[in-house]
Structure 1
Amino acid sequence: MINRFLIFFIFLPLFLSAEPSISTIKAAVKANPALLETPQAKAAMAEKGITEAQVKEKLAQNTSSSEISNETATVENTIDESSAQEPASESIKGGDFQKDISPFTYQKDVSFKERQQNLQESKLSRYSMRFFSNKNEIDSASLPTPDDYIVTTGDVIGVQVYGDKNQEYSLEIKNDGTVNLAFVGPAKVGGMDFKSAKEYLRSSLKTHYTTSEFNINMSKYSTIQVTLIGKVKHPGIYNLSSFATVKDLLIVAKGVEPDASVREIIVKRNSKIIAQIDFYKLLFDGNELDRILLKHGDIVVINKAEKLVGIDGYVGDSAIFELKNNEKLDKLIEYAGGMRPNASKENIKISRFSNNSKLETFDISYKDAKQFDLMDGDKVYIYPLDASAQNSVNIYGNIIRPGNYRIDNDLTLNSLLKKEVEHGLK
């Protein structure tokens, strides 16, 4: 017979602050039926040879409905307050019984299969989109001017004279490509690369400042107009610094559309393609993009991506990546930051919709990843290693050290229990 003492024996470990009344226990179970699923409650019922149904039947007896209703309201308020707090730092696994589990917030854990399904159905975003979330404004004047920069109309060159004479000049390039040098006259530097322009200005200034030295820098860049079209969030004509690159243009334009290609960005000049830029060189290799400065009248084209593949599960970065036609599954995993230490290299799952209707799945091993071709729209999932320990047994209950124990060839149940007895039972 299930008596009052047994009910307390099952539920008392869950209420650590004080011994609960029978009405409090009933109200707690009514407000949160998952209480009967806690490891402590299950272990206690198993030890006494009773079932969950028997406990529920006993709890339904001998208490007035008004008393339970009042207690239930109190318990439900406690549940609301407890749910807002931080969860316990450790989760319930196997036979590891936490003594600090709150009876008000305990929820029955979902199955492993359900967790995997939830992960696989999680919405992934384009990895490259993160780059364009940067809100910093571009300040070209703060960057060093490369020697191959072509000086053009509207640029302003700063000249500092020091030594016997100290003087500063701000020289703006006129429409004819010249600047006016005091005591020297006009000097044509428009169309020169910056290195040649500096040398020419230095030699021209030396004719007057014979014993002085010079510091020559670009203090302001001219403005150019560039057209951006294709799969971008804000296509149109942009006014940029003449020092701007494709990267700068895309940042100003707030990035590309989710289905846009960033692996083959086209730059057209005078109706000819002068560059095809792969943005992944910057994102993954840390290399600067092809150092092509945009010029007035350039057109930048962003086409639709041909192959977008998602990867989720036990990898460094779960996201959607763009692949080139010659890139296989191993490259996708590399882009995703590789597998986690506890990831399984077997049974990698690939889901694919053939002809936009029929769902197909493939299970392959990582050793075949270098040969496996992916298709646009594929989704890859990396599973964890089997959590169950090999050559081990799980012991739990009223012992000092519950958990997994290694099974050696000569180990018997008797010797294992004897070892535990030596450490003491609860």
Structure 2
Amino acid sequence: MARGFRRLKLLLIIAVSPLSMMPVVGAAPSSPFTKGVRTSADVVQPAPLQQDVYILGPGDRLQLQMLDPSAQAYGGSLEILNDGTASLALLGSAQLTGLTISQATQWLTQLYGRFLIRPELTLSLSQPRAMQVTVLGEVQTPGLYSLSAGGEASAVAGVAGAGNPGLPTVVSAIQKAGGITLNSNIRSVTLRRKLPGLSNEVKQVTLDLARLLQNGNLSQNPFVFDGDTITVARAQDPLPEEVIALGAINLSPQTINVNIIGEVRSPGPLQVKANTPLVQAILKAGGPTDWRARKNNVELVRINRNGTVSRQTFSMNYNQGVSNAFNPPLRDGDSVIVPRSLYGKTVDVVNQVIAPLGQALNIYAIYCSLGNNNGTNRC
């Protein structure tokens, strides 16, 4: 009777479970949640990424607990290996990569049901793996970055609760890549994410970081998952003024290095805060020298990312705020040249002419003095 009841229960579990069609232990299960989902190429607006569930992968550490007191010895700590499997007591190894925690719980319950009368269990994530995230587009240093779930902090100035030291977000990934460039469009940040399962289906959403920085809309700063791709779009010229204002918060590097050359009191390399406007940088270098500086013809020399050099001329105006047209924010590596005025050039020419004459007169005076000392009148 007991044996017949056990067989009936096993048949019910297999019939009811949504994962009943999964392969044997060690094989890679497919996700039932990916059926009928269209890819990003179909241009379908997905559900908010903030509501996505965590997908297990190599490096994750899990805690398994059997609810049956007589089977608790089969529980314990698990780690998903590079091949996507985890070693489990009684089962050997099982493929867990690509599953959510809920799916993995159902999958292991089904597997243990082949050996145990009460296979009920709980599965929790004890230590998540490092997130491998690709950051592209208008950031200082595009590339692949590893964001530790336990050590990355994401904080946006003026936005309460925008950061969580245990969970990396889109903003922390952009900060890891050196911050945005001054050509970035923070209203168009694309996030591509792989869907659960072993398929290559992805979904895509466009984030508006301006809404995060202006209104504290945290839905625009979702947590990043392993394999995410973040692309910061390039802004159309001219650069929107709001990008300059908002980008100065902390989406850009904290400090940059620039060169202030020419008629300033302290010329040379200078370290300033990111997005420092041209006029402020000149003032930090001591300001233009009186009479000698040509303030209406200050030149900004910039090396672009493609290796080309651009030169622009601006007029110093102490009453002008940050503006692309009149007082642009500086980038790392910029050179500012404050040229000489007509007065300064005239003084330099005169000095170049008088200085040699003065030296000649001094030599002549010394020659005459030596002759007089010898009793001879040379002059």
Shared fold, TM over 0.5: no
TM-score by length of 1: 0.33
Which structure would you say has the larger RCO, counting Cα contacts within 8 Å and 6 or more residues apart? 2
Larger radius of gyration: 1
TM-score by length of 2: 0.37
